[in-house]
Amino acid sequence: MAAPRPRRSASVRDPSDGRKRLDGAGSWDALEWTKIVPVTRSISHVGLEFLLEAERVVEEGHGVVLVNTDEAGTLFVTNFRLLFLSDGTRNIVSLGTIPLATIERFNKMVVKVQSAPRQTDKSSSRRLLLIIGKDMRIIVFGFRPQTKQRRVIFDALSRCTKPARIWDLYAFTCGPSKFSNPNPKVRLLNEYFRLLGKGFHCASMRMIEDGSFTLSNDLLRISDTNSNYTTCQSYPFALIVPKNISDEEVIQASTFRARCRIPVVSWCHPAGTGAVLARSSQPLVGLMMNMRSNADEKLVAALCTQLVNGKSSRRKLYIADARPRKNALANGAMGGGSESSSNYFQSEIVFFGIDNIHAMRESFARLRDYLDTHGAASSDGMSSFLRHGGWTWGGRNLSSMSASVSTLGDSGWLIHVQSVLAGSAWIAARVALESASVLVHCSDGWDRTSQLVSLANLMLDPYYRTFTGFQALVEKDWLAFGHPFSDRVGMPSISGTSFELTRQSSTGSFSSSPMRQSSGSLTPQASNSSHAQTNYSPIFLQWVDCVSQLLRMYPFAFEFSSTFLVDFLDCVLSCRFGNFLCNSEKERLQCGVYEACGCLWAYLADVRSSEGSSHAHYNLFYDPLKHNGRVLPPAAALAPTLWPQFHLRWACPSESQAGELEAESRHMAIKFSELQKAKEAAEKKAKEYSMAMETLNAELRNEKQVSSSAMNLAKRASKESAAIKRAIQSLGCRVNFTSSVNCSFDFESNPTETPQKYMHSPPRRNSDGTMGPEDKSDLSVSITVVSEDVVSSSPLGRVCETLCPLRNGGCRWPDAACAQLGSQFVGLKANFDAFDRLSIYDGYFQSE
C-alpha cells in the first residue's frame, strides 16, 4: 500500500467558508490503470480567478481523474457548473467543465477489474462518476477508493442540478450585471410593425401601457385581446389577426383550439403579395371528427383574403399538420384531431409525419452514444482505432466497417432533421411560389410548429438571416409564442416543480463499449425513473441544427457563422441568462426575469464587439446582395450531415474544427483587417504631416511678406533721409545720421558759444505702418548750425547776410524771424512740426 497522499495546505475556496474539504486519504493502487503520477503540490494559489461573477464553490474533490483524457486534477461543484481544474497545467479543462443545467443525467458506477491469474481471489474496483450532457458530451470521472469524495460530489450534484425553485438558479443569483435585459415586448411590437409595413413607428413601454400599439394595414391588424393573457396563457400579449375579425370572434375561436392557441399570423411579406404564414394548435374535433366552430372557420378563412384591384378575393389555403396522420387520428380519441378540408373552404390538408418529442429525445441519445463509441477519444479513455482490436473499424474484416455507419443511421437523428428541413422548405415554397397562405400546427402548437414556422421564416425573409433578425425570429416564434423551454431543457418553472434528473444505470448507454464489457462488470449504484417519462426533449437544439444545415447549403446568405450558433446554443443550455427560462412570456413576467437576470443577446453582442467584424461569430462569406430574397432549397439538397462544430467537438475535437478553407479565410481576413488599420493610421499620419507642411509654408510666406515690407520701408526711409539731409544742408546745417537711439540737433551760432544740441526720439513705426509712441527709433540725426563765418563763406550765406534785416546784430537762426518765413532764396518752405516728428512718411518741406 502506498503512503497516503499529503494533505494540501489550502483550498480554492475561502477558508472561512466552513464547508468540508475533501482530501485523498487513500492510495493510487486501485487506479493503476490511469498511469497518473501522484501530484503533491498545491494548486490553491490560483484562488478564485476562474470563478464567474457570483459563482461560489459548493464542494470539491482532489486527486480526481478525467477518464476521457487520462488527466488528473481537482473537481469543483459550484452553484453554476461542474469545474475540472488540471493539476498539470492549473487550467480549466473544457471537456470536464460543464454547466449544471447542461447535465442531462448522472450516476455512480463501480467497475470490477479482474486480477492477475495468480491472484484470482482478489479483485479491485474503479469508482466512477458518469456525467451525460445535453450537448453531446459523456464524461467519466474516476475517484480514489475509501475517500468518500465521489459520494460528496454526487450529493452536491443532486442538490444543485435540480433546484426546488426557479429563483435558486444561477441566473437569478448573478443578476443582470452589465448585460441588462430590456423588455422584449417592445422588440416584439417593432417586429410586428415591420411585418405590417409600419416600420416607421417605434414601439415603447408607454405605447404598451396605454394600448396604442393596435396598428393595422389593409388586411391585418394587431390585437390586444390577449394583453392580460386571458385568451391564451401561452401566447404573447399582442397578436396579428385578420383585420375583419373582431376581438369577440377571436375569443370565441380560442375555445375550439387546444390550449386556446388560435390561428394567428406569424409572418407576412412586408411589401409582397399578402400571403401569410400562420400557426395554431390542433382543433378539438373529437373522436368522430364532427365538431365544428363557425368562429374558427371564419378566422381561418380570413387568412386567405387577398385584395385584387381594390376587391377582396380568396387565395389557396394549405393546412400543414406536422404530425403523422395516424398520430393525428389518435389524438382524436382525446378530443383533438385535425381539420377536414370540407369544413375549410378552398383548403388542402397536408401531413408532414414528424415524430413527437419522445422520439426526438431517444434519437438524440442514440446519436450521442454512437459518437462516444466511435469517437477519437471516448468516455472510456480509448480511441475507436485501438479499442478491442479496432473492431469499430472492422478489425481484420474491413467489410464490417459499414456497421458503424448503419449505427449512425439507426439513431434516426439525421432523418428527423431532414424531415423538419423538407417540411419547412415545402411551406416556404407554397408561400413564395404560389402566393398561398399556410396554417401550421401540431398537437399543442409549440414544438414542431415552432420548428417549421421559424425555419420557413428564415428561408423567406433575409432579415432573419442577420444577427438582429435572428434575435427577432427566436424571440417571436419561440419565446413569445410559448415554447416550454423549462420543460424541454429540464429546469424548474414558475409553479415550483422541477425536472427530475434521472440518475439511472449506464448499462443501456454504455453497452456498446467493448472495454466495459471486457475489463470488468458494471455495478450501478443509483437508479431512478425512466427518462422517457419526462418532458425533456432537444427540440430547440434540433432546430438550431437545421439552421446550421441551411448555413452549410447557403454560406453567403447568413451574417452569422456556425461558431455563433454553437455559442448561442451553449448559452441556452447553460441557463446562465434569463431569456430562455420559464415556459411562456407570462411566466417570465411573473418571475421578473427581465429585471433580475442578464440578457443572452447583450452578452453575445459584447463578445462580438471585442474584435469587430473579424470575430468568429461573423460569417466571412456573407454577401447580402447575393441572397437578398428567399432561399428555397430543392429536395435533393436537403440531405443533412453531422454538424461538426457541435456534434463532434467532444468525441472528435480535431475533426470538429472549421474547415481549412474557412480557417485560412478567417486568418486572411484578420490580416487584412490589421493591414487596413495600419493603412488608416498611415493615412492619418500623412494627413497630419500635410497639414503641418501647409502651416509651415503659410508661416514662411508670411515671413517673406514681412521681410519684403521691411526692405521696402528701409529703402523708403533711406530715400527720405537723403532728402531731409539735402534740405537741411540747404539751410546751412550739418546733419549726421547715426544708429543711436536719439536724434541729436547741434546748433552753433558762433565759435565762442557752446553748441546747442537738441535730442529727439522719433516714434517707431509698427509692422503695419502705425506709429508706436513708446518705441524708440534706431535712427539718430545730428544737425549742427554752422557759425557765421562758415555761413558767410558760403554763397548762400552771403546772400542771406545781404538780405537779412538782422545782419548787423548777427544771425540768430533758427530763432530769428526769417526762419518762420518763406525763404525765397532757398526756394523751399520748412515744416518744423513735421521735422520735429521726424516721420519718414511725412513731407518735411513743401515747394513754394
Tell me which residue of 259, 263, 265, 208 sits closest to 234, measured CA to CA: 259
Beta 764-765 vs 771-772: how paired, if at all? Answer: antiparallel
Grid cell for residue 471: 434575435
Task: Look at 157-171, 614-628, 664-678 and tell me which has the smallest mean pLDDT.
Answer: 664-678
Who has greater pLDDT, 447 or 33? Answer: 447
Q: Can you give the pLDDT at residue 290?
A: 87
Q: How far is CA 543 from CA 133, 192, 419, 548, 822, in A?
A: 18, 23, 11, 9, 117
Question: For residue 181, what pLDDT is reported?
Answer: 78
Across 265-294, average pLDDT: 90
pLDDT at 455 over 90: yes
Give the pairing of strands 239-242 and 780-785: unpaired
Which residue in the block uniquely carries the three cell numbers 396604442? 212
Q: Return the ∠ at Cα 255 (arms to 251 and 258), rounded to 5°.
A: 125
The string of pLDDT tens digits covering residues 139-198 is: 999 998 888 899 999 999 999 988 888 889 999 999 887 888 788 999 999 999 999 999
* H/E run at residue 672: helix 660-729
Quick one: how far is CA 215 from the chain centroid? 32
The predicted pLDDT at position 543 comes to 98
Which tens digit of pLDDT belongs to each residue from 342-363? 999 889 999 999 999 999 999 9
Give yes or no for residue 597 having a pLDDT over 50: yes
Is beta strand 780-785 parallel, antiparallel or unpaired with respect to 264-268? unpaired
What's the pLDDT score for residue 806?
53
Q: Tell me the mean pLDDT in the region 729-752.
A: 53
Q: Kind of pairing, strands 81-86 and 71-78?
A: antiparallel
Is the predicted pLDDT of residue 769 greater than 90, yes or no? no
Q: Tell me whether residue 813 is annotated as binding.
A: no
Question: Which residues are paired to 143 by β-bridges?
Answer: 127
The residue among 725 and 53 whose pLDDT is bigger is 53
> Is residue 811 very low, low, confident or very high in pLDDT (cuts 50, 70, 90)?
low
Q: What is the pLDDT of residue 314?
A: 87
Question: What is the mean predicted confidence (pLDDT) over 427-438?
Answer: 95
- Find out whether 734 is annotated in a ligand binding site: no
More confident residue, 136 or 49: 136
- 304 assigned to active site: no
Closest by CA position to 47, among listed 10, 20, 98, 86: 10
Out of 295-299, 306-310, 341-345, least confident range: 306-310
Write the DSSP symbol of residue 216: B
Residue 93 has pLDDT above 50, yes or no: yes
pTM exceeds 0.85, yes or no = no
Of 38, 41, 39, 50, nearest to 13 by C-alpha is 50
pLDDT of res. 171: 93
- pLDDT-wise least confident of 180-189, 520-529, 627-636, 669-678: 520-529
User: Confidence class of residue 442 from pLDDT cuts 50, 70 and 90?
Assistant: very high
Instruction: Tell me the mean pLDDT in the region 252-276.
Output: 91
pLDDT at 833 over 70: no
839 is in an annotated binding site: no
Q: Residue 812's pLDDT is what?
A: 57
Q: What percent of the chain is predicted at pLDDT more than 70?
A: 70
Q: Would you place residue 401 in the very low, low, confident or very high pLDDT band (cuts 50, 70, 90)?
A: low
C-alpha grid cell for residue 203? 414601439
Q: Is 583 annotated as a binding residue?
A: no
Query: How confident is the model over 268-274, as a mean pLDDT?
Result: 80
Compute the distance between CA of residue 163 and CA of residue 149 in angstroms, rounded to an integer: 22
Is the pLDDT at 399 greater than 70? The verdict is no
Judged against a pLDDT cut of 60, whether residue 370 lies above it is answered with: yes
- pLDDT at site 220: 94
Mean pLDDT of 221-247: 96
Write down the H helix ranges in 124-166. Answer: 149-160
HEC profile of 517-570:
HHHCCEEECCCCCCHHHCCCCCHHHHHHHHHHHHHHHCCCCCCECHHHHHHHHH
More confident residue, 29 or 189: 189
CB under 8 Å to 342, separation ≥6 — which residues? none
The string of DSSP letters for 219-269 reads SEEEE-TTTTS-S-TTS-S-EEEETTS-HHHHHHHHTTBGGG---EEEEE-
Check whether 533 has a pLDDT greater than 70. Answer: no
Q: Decide if pLDDT at 366 tops 70.
A: yes
CB 356 within 8 A of CB 386: no
Q: Which residue has the higher pLDDT, 189 or 500?
A: 189
How many CA atoms are closer than 13 Å to the CA of 278, on its beta-carbon side?
29
Give the Cα separation of 515 and 382 in Å (integer).
8
**Predicted pLDDT at 816:** 55
CA–CA separation, 169 and 486 (whole Å): 12
What's the pLDDT at 718? 87
pLDDT at 49: 80
Sign of the C-alpha dihedral computed for residues 470, 473, 479 and 485 taken in this order: negative
**Nearest of 39, 35, 102, 155 to residue 650 by alpha carbon:** 102
442, 575, 582, 599: which is the annotated catalytic residue? 442
- Cα–Cα distance measured from residue 612 to residue 673, given in angstroms and rounded to the nearest whole number: 10
Determine if residue 797 is labeled as part of a ligand binding site. Answer: no
Closest C-alpha to 153, from 139, 166, 167: 139
Q: Which residue has the cell 475535437?
A: 653
- Look at residue 27 and tell me whether its pLDDT is greater than 50: no
Quick one: pLDDT at residue 490?
A: 87
- To the question of whether residue 465 is assigned a binding role by annotation, the answer is no
Any idea what the Cα angle at residue 71 is, between residues 65 and 72, rounded to 5°?
50
Q: Is 746 annotated as a binding residue?
A: no
545-561 burial, b if ≥16 CB within 10 A, otherwise e? bbbbbbbeebbebbbbb
DSSP 555-615: TTS-SB-HHHHHHHHHHHHHT-SSTT-SSSHHHHHHHTHHHHS--HHHHHHHHHHTTGGGS
- What pLDDT is stored for residue 358 in this prediction? 95
Average pLDDT, the chain: 78
Is the pLDDT confidence value at 3 over 60?
no
Instruction: Read off the pLDDT of each residue in 711-738 and give the average, rounded to a whole number.
Output: 76
447 annotated as a binding-site residue: yes
Residue 208 predicted with pLDDT over 70 = yes
Q: Higher confidence at residue 783 or residue 433?
A: 433
> What structural domains and CATH numbers belong to the chain?
57-114+122-162 (2.30.29.30), 184-356+414-493+534-658 (no CATH)
Asked if residue 448 belongs to a known ligand binding site, the reply is yes
Q: What is the pLDDT of residues 417-430, one digit of tens each?
A: 999 999 999 999 99
CA distance 830 to 797: 17
More confident residue, 741 or 96: 96
String of DSSP letters for 433-491: HH--EEEEE-SSSSSHHHHHHHHHHHHH-GGGGSHHHHHHHHIIIIIITT--HHHHHT-
Residue found by looking up cell 545730428 in the block? 782
